[in-house]
Structure 1
Amino acid sequence: MVEKDTMIYRNLGNSGLKVSALSIGNWLTGHSLDFEETQFQVFSRFVNAGVNFLDTAEIYGAGNAETILGNIIKRGDWDRDKLVVSTKFLRCGGSVGLSRKRLIQSMKKSLSRLQLDYVDIMFLHRYDHEVPLEETIRAVNHLIEKGKASYWGTSEFTAQQLMECYKVCDKLGYEYPIAEQCQYSMLIRENVEVTLPHLFDNYGLGTTVWSPISGGLLSGKYNDGTIPEGSRLADPSLAPMVRERYMSYFAEANREKTLNMFKGLKDIANELGASQAQLALAWCIKNEDVSTALCGASRVEQVDDNLGSLELLNKLDDGMLRRIEDVLGNRPTPPMDYRKWAPRPPRR
């Protein structure tokens, strides 16, 4: 079990905000209020181990996730000043969009559900093509000036969309987004390793990556190619698009490669005295461009497994990382970087 004094903290982008390398979100378990008791135990275990970043969104359970998190924070009686709480805005129920009117109304409702005076980070939860970006960013700045949020970020924005944000901020004299919440794992690598690094270097953008175990695919439970009862892929409520994406790894054309990869990862994990999920999570946070990796847990036992990943970091030396790359066989090719011979700007 990881103790508080061994937790790793990193600056989120170029801000002075310190976040734990592991964080907890309630996307998977925030849809029904029936999960609140279990989630209290899960969040408590994370917080007691030093995790300080708690993430949710208005869309999760049409507000239920924010309600659950608010009740958990109140019941936990933790020091609010030591927590970093974020929520994301785009859609809740039938209300959609990032207009000034909607963002102001949505923030009021989210803070009420969270039982908080402010959130530390407000994320724009996908780009809104129907609202002028300048209007959205003016509304974000208004909410920050009113003390409803301390920082802002984006979620699943493209590099081009982020550059548009920087241009608007430069024009208006506003603060840049401090983080992008994007997907990253051993299986999904393109954004963090290819399309966004120039923004990490040039703008100090941080990341709060989600699905580091790729929806459970890297956990070890699918290593024999079957879908176990009670697993995420066996859940009938899983969105068809999500199911199709995950099941593509077991399609006839990919099945042998997938199972060989799983076996190779399991062998390395066994050698390191770790679970396969711990290896996948440790590999993710080993990347210096990952500020924090969001975990989702439905059982306390999963929390302890997640926390154990921190103990693997020192074992993932260059040689071990090369072995993992050989097993994965999916390293993306980044564009030519003509600055590679110059020292990289230090990360705070």
Structure 2
Amino acid sequence: MAETSTPKMTYRYLGNTGLKVSVLGYGNWINSDNEKAYELTRDSIKKCFEAGINYYDTAEAYGMGSAETLMGRAFTELGYNRKDFVVSTKIFTVGKGPNDRFLSRKHIIEGTRNSLKRLQMDYVDIVFCHRPDYETPLEETCRAMSWLIDQNMCFYWGTSEWNAARIQQAIGICEKLNLHPPVVEQPQYNMLVRDNFERTLADSFSQHGYGTTIWSPLCSGLLTGKYNDGSIPEGSRFAETPYMMSKYNEYFGDDDKKKKTMEQFNAIQDLAKEHGLTMAQFALGWTIVNKDVSIALLGFTRLTQIDENLQALKVLDIWTKELEDKCEALLNNLPDAGMNCRNWQ
């Protein structure tokens, strides 16, 4: 029987900064804007805070601003000291107007001001560029993000789903113009989606000490164990959302895929059980074992999921090379490190 005591929270520096963040963080992208959603947001934040989670992520795009409103209302009601928690938001799109989206100086600054109003905060700790914008000059974006820091609207800025070349280009522009450079990326990373994080972004970690806040560490729920029999539970997000259904079909879309995925998922679940963990706890723990992961973000549809996910911290204590090798054998998706010219004969 697995112990149910809550492990002690682990904190890491956010990349090459002095900011310490909990290795597990809270994100509220899945919430709507009704009163029930507010109560879940407030109670989730309270429970996370009491468990030592100090990082809270949102975005202007989540519910077209409603997620920020819920989070701001919750923190105001809870009355926590602002120095005791870290908040990030993301700027890219919030409406249908021609300047309500993308990464122009106008939208970055006006969007951040509006985010702060919804959050009822004087500043956020981090503002992310939620996606790359290949139409706005990158220098304009870098100048605007640096200006936010100069105006004390945020302390750091980061990127989300940017490729390594774009990140390097932004850092180069900031160094040349004496601007504040980006320090953190928010990519997807989990047992099933590894290539970008482990291979493409590797230079950003090694050369710049880039931090990371991981979204979808459970691959949109596929790694929770709910889908191990190949069926979609009634009322699940996969049953109700076309995007989620397309994700499901990547792994269960035909009989061959379904058979292979079910065998793999059930083997992972069996390995987790050997260590007194659920598949979700083990998969989440696998993500945070990677030292290039600063934070893995979690969303909750019920409060009991918080305690369940906190058990993933146990993986940090039980991780060994032997366990890593067992995982790699089951996953069979280790990214190709690329050609090493020194090995040419």
Shorter-chain TM range is over 0.9
Q: Select which of 155, 166, 170 maps to 2:171.
A: 166
Deviates more, 1:245-254 or 1:313-322: 245-254
1:181 to 2:200 alignment? no
Number of equivalenced pairs:
336
Contact between 1:124 and 1:155, CA under 8 Å: does it hold in 2? yes
TM-score norm. by structure 2 comes to 0.94
- Could you tell me how far 1:338 is from its partner in structure 2? 7.6
1:286 to 2:289 alignment? yes
Structure-to-structure mapping, 1:1-348, within 5 angstroms: 6-30=8-32, 32=34, 34-94=36-96, 95-235=100-240, 238=241, 240-252=242-254, 253-336=256-339
Aligned to 2:224, the other structure's residue is in SS state coil
Superposed CA offset, 1:205-249 (max 9, x none): 0110110001110000001000001212012xx2x3442132220
In the alignment, the residues of structure 2 paired with residue 125 and residue 337 of structure 1 have an alpha-carbon distance, to the nearest angstrom, of: 33
1:198 corresponds to which letter in structure 2?
A: D
2:274 corresponds to which letter in structure 1?
A: E
- Could you tell me how far 1:79 is from its partner in structure 2? 1.7
Superposed CA offset, 1:112-144 (max 9, x none): 000000000000011111211111111111111
- Could you tell me how far 1:163 is from its partner in structure 2? 1.3
1:114 corresponds to which letter in structure 2?
A: L
In the alignment, the residues of structure 1 paired with residue 152 and residue 6 of structure 2 have an alpha-carbon distance, to the nearest angstrom, of: 33
Aligned to 1:91, the other structure's residue is in SS state coil
- Could you tell me how far 1:108 is from its partner in structure 2? 1.1
Superposed CA offset, 1:117-176 (max 9, x none): 000000001111121111111111111101001000000001111111011111111222
In the alignment, the residues of structure 2 paired with residue 129 and residue 332 of structure 1 have an alpha-carbon distance, to the nearest angstrom, of: 27
Contact between 2:6 and 2:307, CA under 8 Å: does it hold in 1? no
In the alignment, the residues of structure 2 paired with residue 11 and residue 42 of structure 1 have an alpha-carbon distance, to the nearest angstrom, of: 24
In the alignment, the residues of structure 1 paired with residue 5 and residue 162 of structure 2 have an alpha-carbon distance, to the nearest angstrom, of: 33
In the alignment, the residues of structure 1 paired with residue 126 and residue 339 of structure 2 have an alpha-carbon distance, to the nearest angstrom, of: 34
Change (3 A) 1:103 1:201: same
- Could you tell me how far 1:16 is from its partner in structure 2? 0.3
1:36 corresponds to which letter in structure 2?
A: Y
Deviates more, 1:167-176 or 1:270-279: 167-176
Specify every segment of 5 or more residues in structure 2 that has no aligned partner in the other structure, as ranges.
Answer: none
Aligned to 1:223, the other structure's residue is in SS state coil
2:143 corresponds to which letter in structure 1?
A: R
Contact between 2:131 and 2:162, CA under 8 Å: does it hold in 1? yes
Change (3 A) 1:36 1:2: farther
In the alignment, the residues of structure 2 paired with residue 194 and residue 30 of structure 1 have an alpha-carbon distance, to the nearest angstrom, of: 35
Change (3 A) 1:258 1:156: same
Contact between 1:184 and 1:209, CA under 8 Å: does it hold in 2? yes
- Could you tell me how far 1:311 is from its partner in structure 2? 1.5
Contact between 2:56 and 2:85, CA under 8 Å: does it hold in 1? yes
**Which stretches of structure 1, 4 residues or longer, exceed 3 Å deviation after superposition?**
1-4, 30-34, 336-339
In the alignment, the residues of structure 2 paired with residue 334 and residue 32 of structure 1 have an alpha-carbon distance, to the nearest angstrom, of: 46
Aligned counterpart, 1:346? none
1:303 corresponds to which letter in structure 2?
A: I
- Could you tell me how far 1:266 is from its partner in structure 2? 0.9
In the alignment, the residues of structure 2 paired with residue 2 and residue 199 of structure 1 have an alpha-carbon distance, to the nearest angstrom, of: 37
Deviates more, 1:322-331 or 1:115-124: 322-331
Superposed CA offset, 1:3-59 (max 9, x none): 68x210000010001010000001112555540101211121111100000000000
Change (3 A) 1:133 1:2: farther
Aligned counterpart, 1:342? none
Specify every segment of 5 or more residues in structure 1 that has no aligned partner in the other structure, as ranges.
Answer: 340-348
Contact between 1:54 and 1:86, CA under 8 Å: does it hold in 2? yes
Contact between 1:2 and 1:307, CA under 8 Å: does it hold in 2? no
Change (3 A) 1:2 1:170: farther
Change (3 A) 1:165 1:30: farther
Identity of aligned residues (%): 44
Aligned counterpart, 1:344? none
TM-score norm. by structure 1 comes to 0.93
